[in-house]
Structure 1
Amino acid sequence: MNNAELYHRSNILQKRDALQCLEEYGKRIKWKNGRTKIIDIGCGDGSVTMSILRKFIPNSYERLVGCDISENMIQFANEHHASDHTSFMVLDIEGDLPNELRGNFDHAFSFYALHWIKHQEVAFTNIYDLLSEGGDCFLVFLGHIPVFDIYRALSRSTRWNFWLKDVDRFVSPYHDCQDPEKEVKRMMTSIGFTSVEVECLKKSFVYSSLDAVKRAVTAINPFKLPKDLEEDFLLDYINVLRDMHVIDHANNNIDGPIKVEFNYNLIIAYGRK
């Protein structure tokens, strides 16, 4: 997940969902008047921050900060997207929060990042602490998605169990959750958020080729594999997709066009401080 160039070319799904969620649910955001400060948590290469989120921010904003745990992503974001009012910084939202950031933001956003976090209460508490009084957050992250089942299936194989031995570290905490809406709302309320709203949406996304799938898988692959094993890993990944009947051959012609359709759950959470 540190290849910013590849992620920049392959995050079509993330951009689509960020745009759709902001268009449909962005009215919940209570934009503060005047010169506001905004943070985008888990910004990756910065493309969602600038090409999607920026369009919804009032022009009177004072500062837009993108943060991510990956130094490579932040370097790419600063090189391609930084400006007088926008900057990017390394920050682990699951770690210790720098004092100078506490209470410093009027609005916090996060798209496709929080499902990588195992200690959810730590991350959500940090988000709460980033906000000023009356500030709010709008968070979008994955619940159940076949990708995590594929990781688990590969981790059980003798070929990949060494490299994927910490597989559950990279499975969404809500992948197996029967009622993620209730769980997230309970957690946010216990932390101190008010006006909490949580929805779990059923979504789907279609890749039109196996190459597109491979690029997307490589861009977000959290496992540190040797270079010479990466192609074999992708081939086995595709084989698991076939076993799960996710790959559909048009007109049942195995040599013809294909589509790879992922059905998944997307969690949208809103809360105020």
Structure 2
Amino acid sequence: MNNAELYQKNNSLQKRDALDALEEFAKKIRWKKHGDRVIDIGCGDGGITINILKEYMPENFERLVGCDISENMINFANIHHGNERTHFTTLDIEGFLPLTLKNKFDHAFSFYVLHWIKHQETAFTNIYNMLNVGGDCLLVFIGYHPIYEAYRILARNNKWSSWLQDVDRFISPYHDSQDPEKEIKKMMEEIGYINIEVSSKQKVFIYNNPESLKKAVQAINPFKIPLDVFNEYFEDYMDAFRHMIQIREINNNESDIIKFSYNLITVYATK
């Protein structure tokens, strides 16, 4: 998950869902007339921050900060996207929140990050503490996803178990939840958020061929699978994955499309 170039070219799912969320909540976001201060949590290579999020921001914003736990991602983002009003910095959202980030932002966004976080209350508290009073947040992350079941199957395979020993660390806290909306809203109310909206919706995505899926899987792969065996790993991954998704031949066997459904959680709230 530290290869910025690979992630930049193979995150079409993340881009689509970020765009969908911004379209849906654009009218709710409380933009000021000028001087908005914005943070994008888990910005990765910075592409979504600049090419999607920034398009929804007023032109006269004061500051845009992207943060990510990966130094490689942050270095890439600053080189390719940084300027006098846009800066990228390293931050572990479930760790210690620096004083320099407390009560500093009018808006907090996060796309496809919070499902990696085990200490959910810490992360949501940090986001709350970043905001000014009256500030708002829009957070998008995965609930149920068939990729997690594939991980679990591979973790039980002797061939891959040594690399997937910590598999539960990389499964969304809401993958097995029966009522993630209620669970998240209760946590946020206890932290102090108001005007909380939480939705968990089933979405569908299609990869036009297995190679596209392979690159996407490699771009977000959290396990230290050696490159020389990754092709073999992906073959076993697809065997596990195909039991939960639709793979069908099209165009007279010219290629396979890979279609799967998953649950996406979207949260909007204010401080």
- Please state which band the TM-score falls in when normalised by the shorter chain: over 0.9
Q: Map of 1:49-68 to 2, 5 A cutoff? A: 49-68=49-68
C-alpha contact (below 8 Å) 1:138/1:271 kept by paired residues: yes
| Stretches of structure 1 lacking an aligned partner (at least 5 in a row) | none
Q: TM-score, normalised by structure 1?
A: 0.96
CA distance in 2, matches of 1:132, 1:43: 21
Report percent identity of matched pairs. 56
Deviation at 1:245, TM superposition (A): 4.7
Aligned to 1:7: 7
C-alpha contact (below 8 Å) 1:241/1:247 kept by paired residues: no
Aligned to 2:153: 153
CA distance in 1, matches of 2:5, 2:168: 27
Q: Map of 1:31-180 to 2, 5 A cutoff? A: 31-180=31-180
Q: 1:83-124 CA distances to partner (integer Å, 9 max, x unpaired)?
A: 111010000001000011100111000000000000000000
Number of aligned residue pairs: give it: 271
SS state at 2:134 partner: strand
Q: Map of 1:231-250 to 2, 5 A cutoff? A: 231-250=231-250
RMSD between aligned residues: 1.2
SS state at 1:28 partner: coil
Following TM superposition, the consecutive aligned residue runs of length 4 or more in structure 1 with deviations greater than 4 angstroms are: none
Aligned to 1:272: 270
SS state at 1:121 partner: helix
C-alpha contact (below 8 Å) 1:249/1:258 kept by paired residues: yes
Q: 1:206-257 CA distances to partner (integer Å, 9 max, x unpaired)?
A: 0010100100000000011222221211111112123335322238x7x442
CA distance in 1, matches of 2:245, 2:263: 18
Q: 1:39-67 CA distances to partner (integer Å, 9 max, x unpaired)?
A: 00000000000000001001121000000
Instruction: Kindly provide the amino acid, as one letter, of the partner of residue 161 in structure 1.
Output: S
Instruction: Kindly provide the amino acid, as one letter, of the partner of residue 56 in structure 1.
Output: Y
Deviation at 1:153, TM superposition (A): 0.7
Give the counterpart of 1:260 among 235, 258, 261. 258
SS state at 1:87 partner: strand
SS state at 1:107 partner: strand
CA distance in 2, matches of 1:31, 1:199: 22
CA distance in 2, matches of 1:174, 1:245: 20
Aligned to 2:226: 226
SS state at 2:242 partner: helix
Q: 1:110-159 CA distances to partner (integer Å, 9 max, x unpaired)?
A: 00000000000000000000011111111000010111111111001011
Deviates more, 1:233-242 or 1:51-60: 233-242
Deviates more, 1:224-233 or 1:136-145: 224-233
CA distance in 1, matches of 2:32, 2:128: 17
CA distance in 2, matches of 1:222, 1:21: 25
C-alpha contact (below 8 Å) 2:41/2:111 kept by paired residues: yes
Deviates more, 1:205-214 or 1:26-35: 26-35
CA distance in 2, matches of 1:98, 1:140: 23
Instruction: Kindly provide the amino acid, as one letter, of the partner of residue 15 in structure 1.
Output: K
C-alpha contact (below 8 Å) 2:41/2:110 kept by paired residues: yes
Deviation at 1:184, TM superposition (A): 0.8
Structure 2 CA distance for partners of 1:245 and 1:12, relative to 1, 3 Å: closer
Deviates more, 1:6-15 or 1:32-41: 32-41
Q: Map of 1:184-199 to 2, 5 A cutoff? A: 184-199=184-199
Aligned to 1:25: 25
SS state at 1:196 partner: strand
